[in-house]
Structure 1
Amino acid sequence: MVKETLCFCNAQKYTAILLSAAEITTCGPSTQNTCSTSGGHAFDQIIPLASASVTSSSRTKHMPYQVFINHCGQDVKETLASRIYNSLEGTGVRVFLDKTELNHGDFFPLAIEAAMRSASFHIAIFSEHYAQSPWCLAELAFMIEIGETIVPVFYHVEPFDLRWAIKGKGKYADALSEHESKGRIASEELHRWKMALHRVSFCHGYIIKNTE
């Protein structure tokens, strides 16, 4: 099976759709674009462009995933993650979101790993309870290891919450300490998670803050 190569223009298109789905209306020029949210869709006119490289007629349930959404379900599954999924799918882009793509009887660890391997564009939504989930952290570490494009979305958290976790500081530090205190996660795996958070905190991404 030949994996689609993600060109720069596709990355721009996917990112534009991501922004529209998040209802972002203003973005700053900084390395991490700080954005506010409102009820408008300023990027609606860009959404149809994503279908230029993936047409609905050629898209089937058996084709490889092009985009993988890494997220904490209790925070964003029914809101931001679903909006991004629906916006991308509406243009014919093949997207993996667990609640819609996993079927009864699927061995989900292997299904999720296969989806991450096939996708050439990963969206990681960092939210308040993200670091409490071993699944989220394990997915993130794996995404970094396979070396594909990762666009971080900092949803009511800041990049330094990820960056400082390795030093025991920031919002995610307590969650990581709790994983350690329970003794269920090997120290090597915890270090792998912390390094993944630290690394992705330097990726160009978007900070979403609700200004309403």
Structure 2
Amino acid sequence: MASSSSSHQQNQGFNAFFGIEPDGKRRKVSESSRLFDVFINHRGPDVKQTLATQLYNSLKEVGIQAFLDSEEKQLGDLFTSTIESAIKSASVHIAIFSKRYAESPWCLAELVLMLQSKAKIIPVFYQVQPWELRFIEKGVYAKALAKYKNEKRY
């Protein structure tokens, strides 16, 4: 019986973290926006077929409404507006930082939107160490970020 109570308490904390009310209903950002509990930010060629998809499937299995671009984008959707809506409606963002993450302007643009949303961001370091990202001038993202700076993109 104690494990059932412990499991129930764990689910309550988990659900609260992801913005799910005690009755199982998700809090709406607005009626017109599609609601996601979690937005998964990642560089496709690095992790889409592995970590990102596994994470997405695991979240779906436990009833968490997650957004992964390859799974949630509908035919005919405007790609940028679909992603922007998903980011704005998610109560939690997961940023999967991989070695070539910064080479993607899409990843960086999504990261900016995630930061602007003020929602929780969970960093996941895939084949990189957090300290490698801390020192931008010499870290694994230095070359990509220098390129953007030279192009005056960011």
Shorter-chain TM range is 0.7 to 0.9
Equivalent position of 1:110 in the other structure: 81
Matches within 5 A, 1:29-40: none
1:161 aligns with 2:132: yes
1:135 aligns with 2:139: no
Tell me how far 1:160 sits from its aligned partner: 2.2
Residues 1:13 and 1:80: Cα distance change in structure 2 (over 3 Å)? farther
Structural RMSD (CA): 2.5
Matches within 5 A, 1:60-79: 64-79=35-50
Contact 2:73 2:79 in 1 (8 A): yes
Residues 1:53 and 1:95: Cα distance change in structure 2 (over 3 Å)? farther
Q: Distance in 1 between matches of 2:121 and 2:24?
A: 20
Q: Distance in 1 between matches of 2:15 and 2:133?
A: 23
Tell me the secondary structure at the aligned position of residue 123 of structure 2.
Answer: strand
Amino acid at match of 1:173: A
Q: Deviations over 1:129-159 (max 9, x none)?
A: 1000001011111111111111100111121
Amino acid at match of 2:40: I
Residues 1:53 and 1:112: Cα distance change in structure 2 (over 3 Å)? farther
Amino acid at match of 1:71: H
In structure 1, stretches of 5+ residues that fail to align are 1-7, 15-49, 56-61, 191-212
Matches within 5 A, 1:1-212: 9-10=13-14, 54=24, 64-165=35-136, 168-181=137-150, 183=151, 185=153, 190=154
Residues 1:114 and 1:155: Cα distance change in structure 2 (over 3 Å)? same
TM-score normalised over the length of structure 2 = 0.78
Residue correspondences, number: 135
Residues 1:53 and 1:148: Cα distance change in structure 2 (over 3 Å)? farther
Higher strand share: 1
Q: Distance in 1 between matches of 2:132 and 2:80?
A: 27
Q: Deviations over 1:11-52 (max 9, x none)?
A: 7977xxxxxxxxxxxxxxxxxxxxxxxxxxxxxxxxxxx9x8
Moved over 2 A (4+): 10-14, 52-55
Tell me how far 1:71 sits from its aligned partner: 0.3
Residues 1:156 and 1:78: Cα distance change in structure 2 (over 3 Å)? same
Contact 2:95 2:122 in 1 (8 A): yes
Amino acid at match of 1:169: K
Amino acid at match of 1:174: K
Residues 1:71 and 1:12: Cα distance change in structure 2 (over 3 Å)? farther
In structure 2, stretches of 5+ residues that fail to align are 1-11, 26-32
Tell me the secondary structure at the aligned position of residue 49 of structure 2.
Answer: coil
Tell me the secondary structure at the aligned position of residue 107 of structure 2.
Answer: helix
